[in-house]
Amino acid sequence: MAKQIEVRCSSEVATLIIAALEWFVARTYPRASDECSAAAREALLDLADRFKRELLMEGRALYSSRIRAFLCEAVKGYLAEQEALSGRSYTHRCRVLIDVCRGDSDDAGFAEAERLDG
C-alpha cells in the first residue's frame, strides 16, 4: 500500500488546489482517452471530489503518494496559466501550494506569498 500524505490548508487554498486538479484533468485526460488515461482521469477526479468533501470542509485530507507528482504538476500548470492570463506573478504562492500538496506544511505562508507576488 502506498504511503498516505496528509494535506492541511484553508478553504481558500483548498479551492485553488481543487481548481488546479480539475483544470489538469480537463487538459491532460479528455473523456475519450485510452484505458490507462481513463484510469488516471478517474483517480484524479476522485481526489478532487475527496478534497471537496474533506479538505474544503474540514481543512485536512489524506491522499496516496502515488498521485503526488500529478497533483504538483496540476498546481504548477494551473498557476502558470493563471499567471499568463492575468499578467500577475504566482511564483511564491506556487511554492507554498506545492509544499502543502507534498504534506510538508500547512498554508500559513500563503498570505505572505500572495503579498510577495503582488
pLDDT in tens, 47-106: 999 999 999 999 999 999 999 999 999 999 999 999 999 999 999 999 999 999 999 988
Count of domains observed in the chain = 1
Q: Which of 23, 103, 7 is nearest to 56 (CA)?
A: 7
Min mean pLDDT across 5-14, 30-39, 70-79, 88-97 is at: 30-39
Instruction: Give dist(CA 27, CA 33) in Å, integer.
Output: 11
List Cβ neighbours of 22 (8 Å cut-off, separation of 6 or more). 45, 48
What's the domain range around 92? Answer: 4-117
Confidence of residue 33 (pLDDT cuts 50, 70, 90): low
